[in-house]
Amino acid sequence: MEDEVSIGEDTQSLATGVADSINRWLQELSIKCAKSEGIRDYYNVGVFGYGKDVGPSFLGPIAGRELIPISEIADNPARLDERTKMVPDGAGGLVEQSIRKPVWFDPIANGGTPMCKAAGEAQRVLKGWIAEHPDSFPPTCIHITDGEATDGNPTDRLNALKGLSTSDGNAMLFNIHLSANPKATPVLFPDSPDDLPDEYSKMLFETASPLTPSMRALAREHGFDTSEDSRCFVLNADLVLLVQAIDIGTRPSNVQMDDAPQETEAVVAEEEESDAVSEAEEADDEKPEEPETVSEAEEADDEEPEESETVSEAEGEDDKAEGADDEKPEETELAWSGSEQEPR
């Protein structure tokens, strides 16, 4: 995750790019949940990192907490960073404008890629959430990684995570492999492991969940071809594809947020020093009454979801919303990313 990537005319580490993407996603998610009376807790969010250490990665007033209502996240950034952006000047040109961006966590690169331990921790968090919300929309976990596990074969742990369920179905697991190599050929939502380059990528494919019909529809909006067999897996993704994958995984397009759900979603972002996992789930055709849990992080969509989600995201470095029921369920997402170095 320390590898340099090009962002426009600038370069930055992959870890920094991922951290910026997740911080921006959290800000946009907060805006989507904002109503006249304030921010509604459609989501609970958590960010975890794994590398030298495995655990919650939020900074500031919410540091150390695992699943946090989106309203508390919005109200408690660690700091506001001053940034500049180019905006139209009204005369056909562009001018530089200073803006303040909330920051909830920073990129850290340090350590290996303990994917097995991180997956176990994500499973523990989501299992506890499901015990409290057994009839909610199932959790979604987005796992972001840029390297292979350094603590054994994570297949069983990832499958166990994907095997968690509520009365509405199984948890969703996204596996997103990041690459800083501009010549790397991305593989987007494949429906077979046959053309994947190695056993590691095939493992990530096999442990990823199938895309739901609503996710496939969102993928088509982004211009991706998918089939009924397509998996929640992206190989050699750049930062643009990361943001698109998070959008597909975390936007419940069949859910409306005009009416408040009865329960909140939990979004947990996990960052690991070695791998990043970001998970997100979309709303099913039928709406659960309880919230969902999601374990990882990404950008807010133009459409607002009705259900709540739990996201647990993890980032690391290399050294390595549905039909309209009277009551609206919450989704659960788990986003988790990691690399051989510490998370942001």
The mean per-residue pLDDT over the stretch 254-266 comes to: 44
d(CA 1, CA 289): 39
Across-strand partners of 140? Answer: 294, 333
**Tokens representing 185?**
């050929």
The mean per-residue pLDDT over the stretch 190-205 comes to: 94
**Is the pLDDT reported for residue 174 higher than 60?**
yes
**Is the pLDDT reported for residue 138 higher than 70?**
yes
> What pLDDT, on a 0 to 100 scale, did the predictor assign at position 4?
58
**Is the pLDDT reported for residue 275 higher than 70?**
no
SS3 29: helix
Give the pLDDT band (50/70/90) at residue 59. Answer: very high
> What pLDDT, on a 0 to 100 scale, did the predictor assign at position 158?
96
List the domain boundaries for the chain: 4-338
Whose tokens are 């921006």? That residue is 24
Question: Taking a C-beta distance cutoff of 8 angstroms, is the pair 149, 275 a contact?
Answer: yes
> What pLDDT, on a 0 to 100 scale, did the predictor assign at position 297?
37
> What pLDDT, on a 0 to 100 scale, did the predictor assign at position 167?
93
Q: What is the pLDDT of residues 113-132, one digit of tens each?
A: 899 999 999 999 999 999 99
**Is the pLDDT reported for residue 137 higher than 70?**
yes
Highest mean pLDDT among 121-125, 183-187, 243-247, 276-280: 121-125
Lowest mean pLDDT among 25-34, 60-69, 201-210, 323-332: 323-332
The mean per-residue pLDDT over the stretch 13-34 comes to: 87
The mean per-residue pLDDT over the stretch 182-189 comes to: 88
d(CA 162, CA 325): 27
Supply the pTM of this predicted model: 0.72
**Is the pLDDT reported for residue 337 higher than 50?**
no
Q: What is the pLDDT of residues 285-333, one digit of tens each?
A: 444 444 444 444 334 344 444 444 444 444 444 443 344 344 444 444 4
**Is the pLDDT reported for residue 336 higher than 80?**
no
H helices of the chain, in order, are: 14-32, 70-75, 115-132, 155-163, 199-207, 213-221, 239-250
> What pLDDT, on a 0 to 100 scale, did the predictor assign at position 42?
85
Give the pLDDT band (50/70/90) at residue 338. Answer: very low
Top pLDDT among 307 and 212 is at: 212
Top pLDDT among 3 and 119 is at: 119
The mean per-residue pLDDT over the stretch 180-207 comes to: 91
Q: What is the pLDDT of residues 63-114, one digit of tens each?
A: 999 989 999 999 999 999 887 777 787 788 888 888 889 999 888 767 788 9
SS3 161: helix
Give the chain's mean pLDDT. 75
> What pLDDT, on a 0 to 100 scale, did the predictor assign at position 44?
81
**Strand 332-338 relative to strand 275-278: parallel, antiparallel, unpaired?**
antiparallel
DSSP 8-state assignment for residue 146: S
